[in-house]
Amino acid sequence: MQRVTARAHANIALVKYWGKRDTTLNLPAVGSLSLTLEALSTTTTVAFCPDFERDRIVFEGEGATHTPRIVAFLDRVRRLAGLKMPAEVTTANNFPTGAGLASSASGFAALALAATRAAGLDLEGSALSRLAREGSGSAARSIFGGVVAMHAGDQDDGRDAVAEPVLSPGAWPLAVVIAVTAAGPKAVGSTAGMNRTRDTSPFYPAWVASHADDLDEARRAIAARDLTALGAVTEHSCFKMHGLMLSARPPLLYWNPLTVALVQKVATLRQEGLEAYCTIDAGPQVKVLCRADAAAEIEAILGAEPGVVRVLSSRLGPGAHVVP
């Protein structure tokens, strides 16, 4: 029996993924582009053992439990490795899971690496990204560090729906400041929200059709290390996604009044000369893209806003790795 521990970091999409072309394999309808965050990680240990009666999953510290999804994911790894044994999984996030920050990306990326290695498989890079995607769409991106692009792909088996690294963590000193505006789980989970949007929004075809242009624009901005251009497409993709969500029936409104106040605050900071750009996922937290050397100031400003629960800040971090 081999016990393997792996760590993976959360990521925040600048060009957003919303919508699946296949729900079983988690195949995205659109590509995406994200930053992997050093400060937010999941550490997971996996061991397969014939003596265990069934899969045992232990969440250390405060933890949301995704037990059925984890067992289904372990089944995929067992099929790949030709194993029949149950597994013991111990997993811990170093960031508050109850705070509505996406933990499924770092969680399934760490699980993909630890479980495959514990099962004697040596998946790396895009093969590991493909497997992680089957646990959670955004987890495919957390396999890599720095700036990461996820391909929608067009193959039915998902072999080309994988992420790839675009820039290493040290190549451009960016940071993300996260303002938590409310604790608690999201109102509608992302899979249900995505399917509702695809099935009911008249804007969904336009969202899919206009996505490649946003990705191209972001890639050009990154190649030129142009934060102003990257920030503009980041905010456009975020607000286009939330407009799309609002156009579903019934509508998906993930924001609260403080979310709106912080979006306006960030726009004011920009007018005052502090480069900062908002992005928001399927929840009310506001994530702010900025230069690494501006993060402390932005953290202090957002932390002083009435009602903000807590503020976290992170530079770009590494991809999933085995912890000795």
Type of residue at 215: L
Give a three-class secondary structure readout of the chain. CCEEEEEEEEEEEEECCCCEEECCCCEECCCEEEEEEEEEEEEEEEEECCCCCCCEEEEECCCCCCHHHHHHHHHHHHHHHCCCCCEEEEEEECCCHHHCCCCHHHHHHHHHHHHHHHCCCCCCHHHHHHHHHHHCCCHHHHCCCCEEEECCCCCCCCCCCCEEEEECCCCCCEEEEEEECCCCCCCCCHHHHHHHHHHHCCCHHHHHHCHHHHHHHHHHHHHCCCHHHHHHHHHHHHHHHHHHHHCCCCCCCCCCHHHHHHHHHHHHHHHCCCCCEEECCCCCCEEEEEEHHHHHHHHHHHHCCCCCCEEEEEEECCCCEEEC
Q: Look-up: residue for tokens 């004011």?
A: 268
Q: Which amino acid is at 288?
A: V
Least distance in angstroms from the C-beta of 176 to ligand PMV: 12
Work out how close the CB of 185 gets to ligand PMV at its nearest, in angstroms, rounded to a whole number.
13
- Residue 294 in contact with residue 14, Cβ under 8 Å? no
Cβ atoms within 10 A of the Cβ of 189, count?
Answer: 11
Nearer to ligand PMV (CB atom), residue 281 or residue 299: 281
**Which amino acid, one-letter code, is at 46?**
V
CB of 102 to ligand PMV, least distance (A): 5
Distance in Å, CB of 193 to ligand PMV, minimum: 8
Compute the least distance from the CB of residue 215 to ligand PMV, in Å: 12
- Looking at the Cβ atoms of 119 and 179, the one nearer to ligand PMV is 179
CB of 133 to ligand PMV, least distance (A): 8
Q: Which is nearer to ligand PMV, 16 or 211 (CB)?
A: 16
In angstroms, give the least distance from the CB of 153 to ligand PMV: 15
Q: Which is nearer to ligand PMV, 26 or 294 (CB)?
A: 26
**Least Cβ distance, residue 229 to ligand PMV (angstroms):** 20
Give residue 323's Cα distance to chain centre. Answer: 21
Residue 82: Cβ within 10 Å count: 9
Binding site for ligand PMV (CB under 6 A): 13, 16-18, 32, 102, 104-105, 136-138, 190, 281-282
Distance CA 26, CA 163 (A): 13
105/128 with CB nearer ligand PMV = 105
Q: How far is the CB of 13 from ligand PMV (least distance, A)?
A: 3
Residue closer to ligand PMV (CB basis): 181 or 190: 190
Cβ distance to ligand PMV smaller for residue 138 or 234 = 138
Q: Nearer to ligand PMV by C-beta: 13 or 294?
A: 13
Nearer to ligand PMV, 48 or 207 (CB): 207
